[in-house]
Amino acid sequence: MKLVVASGNPGKLREFGELLAPLGWDTAAQNEFGIPECGEPHCTFVENALTKARHASRLAGLPALADDSGLCVHTLDGAPGVHSARYARTSSDESKSDTQNNERLIAELAGHSDRRAHYVCSLVLIRHAGDPQPLIVEGEWHGIIIDAPRGTGGFGYDPHFLLPDIGLTAAELAPAEKNRRSHRGQALRQLLARLRTCADTGEFSG
């Protein structure tokens, strides 16, 4: 099945490519079709993911896969949440910056002892732009936020996202290990399980 991935984020595209490779799917990023990123106006991950999927599917004329992901910090009432990619932006035309987002996050957490946080990935797959029954799954990845960044892999908040059970940040994990553990990897495995069930019943075809 050929599908368009509704993202322009190089980190996400790389991870999706690695995770989907075993399926042999023919995937293409939306920018290969000249499709611009659409807005993310909603306050929930799933609504934003569905909006992005419908936007890409309509313009590409293909099934579409989209996610909306972010970091939710307990003591900050779930922030940065759906604003994770643009947490430090002060104007709509300002470019996204992982460094600035991380700097703001650490500043907001100054004086807080509760550093619990979790990544969220809402993943949506639609057959066509008007699909009345999209496949929707969600994954979570729990950890704590540390002040000093560690590691050079990953992207976003990964250098500050520590996994207490192994003592490493997300940015210190090998790609295969990150995919095994991550919110995006969890969501995609759920999606694949759903697709297998749908294939058995004939409920999903591209």
Give catalytic residue positions: 68
Q: Return the HEC string of the chain.
A: CEEEECCCCHHHHHHHHHHHHHHCCEEEEHHHHCCCCCCCCCCCHHHHHHHHHHHHHHHHCCCEEEEEEEEEEHHHCCCEHHHHHHCCCCCCCCCCCHHHHHHHHHHHCCCCCCCEEEEEEEEEEECCCCCCCCEEEEEEEEEEECCCCCCCCCCCCHHHEEECCCCEEHHHCCHHHHHHHCHHHHHHHHHHHHHHHHHHHCCCCC
- Name the residue with tokens 């991935």: 5
Torsion angle of the four alpha carbons 142, 113, 73, 140, in this order, in degrees rounded to the nearest 10? 10
